[in-house]
């Protein structure tokens, strides 16, 4: 029987996967595999679309957002069919199975076909692990996460509290922090190398009485990127950083429309850009593009076995 594709806008499925993962459920491994396969397929669709010229008549941010929503749903539908075999490979890796799952195109009982002696399963498992960012990143200091999943896990409880206070989706808050810091690897630092914990790129403004860090930043003028030095707020810890983020948005009238989007992550991101949160003309789109990967890491943060431990 063919599995039914989940609704791309039903984010409760991630919470369900997380709940199942706590119980070391094989079904959770399958769901994690399907979500990851969908994410890969969506990345393929995006890469293909990026090679095409833009639509000057019907293009624009709104059209791109709806196209992204369509691609997410299409990716989920493909993953539900299980025809790529990636989900099965990931599920087997997570569960530590010694029996390798069948790959489409092989004959039952024949075993895995090889190409010039290379095991197709091993190649596929290795490739998916690399795409997931499973290779640990070299730490600069204790404030630099060793992996994307570690970074998301460190932000999650703070993001959940901030999201509740603002009435928005916690995933979009994490995605914004991921964009601003490059998955935690490009955090704003003081001259001695210590982190400012400013994961949202909030600059010093009139009335700010806290610590400040001066650093180089990229700003856009007329669509062109320029380097300049700017003063950014510095915080003692992430709790203070997220608290200030909540005050910064809720205390500025210009972000009213963004907060009015509620749990609609895409509308919130577009609202931030329209309100002038950043000068990057593609700021909202970049946040939206990060959402599938962020949601995957959020769903698997407490899984008993991570992909990079396979």
Known active-site residue 27: no
**Taking Cα atoms as reference points, which of 176, 130, 127, 125 lies closest to residue 152?**
176
The total of other beta-carbon atoms located within 10 Å of residue 56's CB is: 7
Rounded distance between C-alpha atoms, residue 133 and residue 145, angstroms: 13
Q: How far is CA 294 from CA 136, 149, 224, in A?
A: 17, 9, 28
* Residue-level pLDDT at 148: 87
**Pure H helices in the chain:** 12-22, 26-50, 61-81, 86-95, 120-131, 148-166, 170-181, 238-250, 256-259, 265-274, 283-300
Rounded distance between C-alpha atoms, residue 288 and residue 267, angstroms: 10
**Taking Cα atoms as reference points, which of 289, 282, 195 lies closest to residue 272?**
282
* Residue-level pLDDT at 17: 62
pLDDT in tens, the chain (310 residues): 445 666 655 556 666 666 666 666 667 667 777 777 777 777 766 666 555 555 444 445 555 665 666 677 777 777 677 666 677 776 666 666 544 444 444 443 333 333 334 344 443 444 444 444 433 333 334 456 768 889 999 999 999 999 999 999 999 999 999 999 999 999 999 988 999 999 999 999 888 999 999 999 989 988 888 899 999 999 999 999 999 999 999 999 999 999 999 999 999 999 999 999 999 999 999 999 999 999 999 987 655 434 444 4
* Residue-level pLDDT at 64: 61
In this prediction the pTM is 0.57
* Residue-level pLDDT at 236: 96
- Which residue of the set 10, 244, 253, 289 is catalytic? 244
Known active-site residue 149: no
- Which residue of the set 35, 219, 264, 289 is catalytic? 219
- As annotated, the residues of the chain forming the CATH 1.10.530.10 domain(s) are 148-300
* Residue-level pLDDT at 10: 59
* Residue-level pLDDT at 103: 42
Instruction: Report the CATH number of the 148-300 domain.
Output: 1.10.530.10
* Residue-level pLDDT at 128: 45
């Amino acid at each position: 029987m063919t599995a039914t594709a989940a609704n791309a806008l039903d984010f409760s499925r991630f919470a369900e996967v997380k709940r199942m993962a706590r119980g070391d459920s094989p079904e959770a491994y399958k769901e994690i595999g399907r979500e990851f396969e969908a994410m890969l397929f969506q990345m393929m669709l995006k890469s293909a679309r990026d090679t095409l010229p833009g639509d000057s008549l019907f293009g624009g941010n709104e059209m791109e957002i709806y196209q992204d929503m369509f691609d997410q749903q299409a990716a989920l539908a493909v993953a539900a069919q299980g025809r790529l075999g990636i989900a099965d490979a990931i599920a087997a890796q997570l569960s530590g199975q010694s029996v390798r799952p069948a790959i489409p195109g092989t004959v039952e009982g024949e075993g895995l076909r090889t190409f010039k002696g290379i095991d197709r399963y091993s190649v596929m498992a290795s490739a998916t692990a690399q795409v997931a960012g499973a290779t640990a990143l070299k730490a600069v200091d204790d404030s630099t996460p060793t992996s994307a999943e570690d970074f998301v896990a460190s932000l999650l409880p703070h993001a959940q509290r901030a999201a509740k206070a603002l009435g928005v989706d916690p995933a979009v808050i994490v995605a914004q922090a991921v964009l601003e810091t490059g998955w935690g690897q490009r955090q704003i630092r003081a001259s001695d190398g210590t982190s400012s914990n400013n994961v949202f790129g909030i600059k010093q403004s009139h009335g700010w009485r806290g610590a400040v860090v001066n650093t180089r930043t990229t700003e856009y003028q007329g669509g062109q990127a320029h380097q300049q030095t700017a003063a950014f707020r510095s915080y003692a810890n992430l709790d203070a950083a997220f608290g200030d983020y909540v005050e910064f948005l809720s205390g500025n009238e210009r972000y009213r429309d963004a907060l009015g989007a509620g749990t609609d992550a895409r509308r919130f991101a577009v609202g931030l850009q329209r309100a002038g949160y950043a000068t990057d003309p593609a700021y909202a789109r970049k946040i939206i593009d990060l959402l599938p990967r962020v949601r995957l890491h959020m769903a698997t943060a407490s899984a008993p076995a991570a992909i990079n431990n396979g």
